[in-house]
Structure 1
Amino acid sequence: MAQGASFPYEEVAEIGGGAYGTVYKARDTESGKFVALKSVRVQTDQDGLPISTVREVALLKRLEQFDHPNVVRLMDVCAIQRTDSETKVTLVFEHVDQDLKTYLEKAPAPGLSQDRIKDLMRQLLCGLGFLHSNRVMHRDLKPENVLVTSGGQVKLADFGLARIYSCHMALTPVVVTLWYRPPEVLLGSSYATPVDIWSTGCIFAEMFRRKPLFCGESEMDQLGKIFQVIGLPSEEEWPKDVTITRKQFLPPNHPPITNFVPELSEQGAELLLEMLTFDPLQRISALNALEHEYLKEEETADTEGSTREGDAIP
């Protein structure tokens, strides 16, 4: 980790703002290549950087050795001490022009083809399977953190940063979205890698709908919207270590999942429900999802850039 060295990057443009600061497109002054800069201010003790941040960054750097095609590359880390108690850590990533949110918005009506969605899902799950097999949780998976290159390659971004960020106060008044959070996080229960599978299920549905599946305005509202789609879990399934009780929710008359995502085939609906399973221990894993019949079906000739027949969901 470069500490206090001259900063070899020149900011070109602001490309996004989140709850933890701004992301900049920058130019590497030595190579001339574009990169993405993400900075976080961390509290330090007399020995320099907090050990938690050092551990997280070291883990991200270790993953670089594998050079996975579906994971954005962390190219450099710069630390500049601002005061005795605060250090600015800048993570330098490869730059990708667009995220999945923009990619979906730019798709001509009625949206992406079934085969294109399958291809994106396979790549997303490949990247996630790689992270999980290396004991890395993303924890903040959403369309803005799934990058798509001009050639249609998916790259997961911002993985591993959630733990770094969670140690520090949000820098801006931007609200961290609830829409992709699984029930165990909303309930304040313990969680592990299945959190990312839930978020991936939400993204899967959004690829068809071109709008989010669950748009809650609070934790309770988000849970209520989830139960309208997947049903109210049984008393046995409800986690014991939470303050929110099952009795606080009325059992909804939930229709089939295809009412919310009409274009899904029977096998696609089955995969989606395996991702949106309430009990995280019963939720499908990334590697098992890749083996699901829906994603193993033969691709038709109708691939890149094609659109579905029929109208988009209003």
Structure 2
Amino acid sequence: MTFSDNASTVTLFTLSGFDEMMEHRATFFSLTLLCYCAIILVNVALILTIILDENLHEPMYIFLCNLCISGLFGTTGFYPKFLLDLLSDLQVISNAGCLTQSFVIYCSACADVVILAVMAYDRYVAICTPLEYHSVMTKQRVTVLVYYPWLSIFCLFSVGIVITSKLRLCGSHIEKLYCTNWSIVKLSCSSITANNIIGYIAILFYVSHIILIVCSYVYLIRTCLKSIEDRGKFMQTCMPHLLSLLNVAVALLFELMYSRFGSSDLSSFQNFMAVQFLIFPPILNPLIYGLQLTQIRIRMLSFCIKSGNNNILK
């Protein structure tokens, strides 16, 4: 890096979160690789099940497929680099690589919330106004709702990343296992007002979709209390959604608490808190839906049985 007036143009960042992990790098590498393989397996299995079965080409399952894609997208921004760092003696990342990793992880985390909001809207229309469902959830609207999470967050975080890339930095030491926009901004020597504004807009964006989810479920619960049939429909299709929402919300809350109030005295615990939202939601979301939604469970079992029978015949 080059220095000028106590500021620097940083070309490489050092990731210091690995300091206590390197003594057991083989164990961490094995567990991480196993976790990443599990994430790929369960998400790809659910995506292929939905794509290959025409009976599952309905809005609810299409949005679920989008949620799995978001999980794969976010973990791809973390796991390959993390595994390489465990094998390396020097854990560094380029400026461009750090910004890209931050962009991918943030987009995935935010996309999860927005997609869950879209799914809540879909369940609201299906249960509260069932007779109007097909006229409301047209192919055109479903297409818009599939692309909306990605287009909105890409635009929002692209602006944030561009602003962050213009900052003058006074350090290159990131006390985490991976890059985040906030970890780069904390190293800034220049004004971060624009970054704070984008941050508040992002928080408002998050909160507005969480409010939408809460409002949708308030109406859903009121509607479902009126009939046994609606209660059964709620338990079958909405409980997995609520479990996934709880899964994502708790994981992101822990990450937010860690980022803002984490103590360097608990580095091992902090490392876990920093990555748990990249472990639990991507694994649990497909499992929750795969086990709870009857149609998906039946389709996946039938695919497994057919594959087993074909292997026996060979």
- TM-score of the aligned structures, taking structure 2 as reference length: 0.31
Where is the helix percentage greater, Structure 1 or Structure 2? 2
Q: Higher Cα Rg: structure 1 or 2? A: 2
Q: Which has the higher contact order (CA 8 A, sep 6+)?
A: 2
- TM-score of the aligned structures, taking structure 1 as reference length: 0.31
